[in-house]
Homo-oligomer: A and B are copies of this chain.
């Protein structure tokens, strides 16, 4: 179910783009707006929901609306042997919004959010204390220049066979 990710086709993309503003528009509106039969849209929506191609809905929530006005990237080096413990520990910190493993010197790049600089300090301390983490370096995000988006990619793909 997770081995090969579901690939969106042109119709999926059109539906998703049409849902961009309001994910709750009635299926019939979608259908006529896209020139599809209602049943088709209904089927696609159902399929999409189970496809694993979408993050959970709460991934749409901006940290700032939860009183977390301060964001930062924490890069961490770690004791390679205890990677999994470190990840588990990180997962248990609510302020850890995201974590990736990049190639290069830093082993983990962690995105955190906090209420204020003081709180940010607390969170990065908490990260530093995770088992297996040997060194961290925090850099605050000064500005959210382009917020996460896929719209441009979606549109680019549109008009292509696949």
Contacts and interface: CB of A to CB of B under 8 A. Distances in A.
Main SS class of interface, A: mixed
B5 A62 contact: yes
A113 interface: yes
Chain A, interface size category, equals 35 or more
Given A60-B54, A97-B153, A155-B94, A140 B102 contact: yes
Given A149-B97, A154-B66, A102 B141 contact: yes
A153 B100 contact: no
A53 B65 contact: yes
Interface string A73-101: 10000000000000100110111111111
Interface of A: 5-8, 13, 16-17, 19-24, 45, 49, 51-68, 71-73, 87, 90-91, 93-104, 108-109, 111, 113, 139-157, 162
